[in-house]
Each structure stands twice: as structure tokens, then as C-alpha cells.
Amino acid sequence: MAAREPLSRRDSTGRTPAAGPGSRDDLGRRGEAAAERFLRQLGYRIVGRRERVLRGDIDLVALDGRTVVFVEVRSRSSTAHGHPAETVGFQKQRRIAELATAYIRRHRLEDCAVRIDVVAVTFGAGTTPPVVEHYQNAFDSP
């Protein structure tokens, strides 16, 4: 009997590597890059990408003037199954708030103004530029 390929390979960080172009991870990374470009055009300063906190990731950490902004990026290849922003339900909001709180404590930012934004990125077919929508102060910390 031939040895089977493992169902999921993990790299040294314990993550499953991306399956290449067109994979979910690739879509997420492309969405984060588009969100970062969009926010930079608005004058935000990006200070962190995929910040690892409490066994989770904060997609982007930015400065909007003197406000620390935690940005959740949601990407979709189309809106056939709903808008990307609709995927940030109560559980996800709670998790983002937990990660933001841990980041604030780790970096001693308790005295800073803080906000949580959501950036929705929808990719069209072919070379059409993505649609980027920015929701400032998208939700209150649950």
C-alpha cells in the first residue's frame, strides 16, 4: 500500500500554507493589500500587518491622526453569497475586540484613542479593480 499524502500540511508556524493563486488565503492577502493601499490614500499610516495576538491575527493596525485603528479586512471574489462586511457577526466582533484589547495592553496604548474599522474588498472578474468599502467605527466593542 502506498503512503498517502497528509490531508493538510502545516509549516513551522503550524499554519497550512496557501494553495497558490485563487486560494482563500491568496484572496485574503490580496484583499489586505488593496485595503492597505486604500487606507494609505486616505492618509492612514500602517503600523502593523497580520499582527499576531492571543493565537489570532489583527489584519491591519493603522494610525488615523492620533487614533489607533484596528482594521478587519473581509474579502470576497463576488457578492453572489452576500457582502463581505456581512461576515463580521457578533462572534467575530467579540474576537476582534479581544485581540485589540490584548494589542493595546501589550503595546501600552491604554491612553490612546482607539477605533475598530472594517474594510470590505470585492474582487470582480478579470482585471477589474476591486471595490473597496471602508466602515469607520464599524461596531462598538461588545
Which tens digit of pLDDT belongs to each residue from 14-36?
554 544 556 778 888 999 999 99
Asked whether residue 127 carries a pLDDT value surpassing 70, the answer given is: yes
- Contact (CB, 8 A) for 30 and 18: no
Q: Which residues contact 27 (CB under 8 A, 6 or more apart)?
A: 75, 76, 77, 123
β-pairing verdict for 131-135 and 56-64: unpaired
- Domains, the chain: 24-135 (3.40.1350.10)
The C-alpha atoms of residue 74 and residue 69 are separated, in whole angstroms, by 16
- pLDDT for 74 equals 93
Q: For 60-96, what is each residue's pLDDT tens digit?
A: 999 999 999 999 999 988 877 888 888 888 999 999 9
DSSP 72-113: EEEEES-STT--GGGG--HHHHHHHHHHHHHHHHHTT-TTSE
**Which pTM was predicted?**
0.78
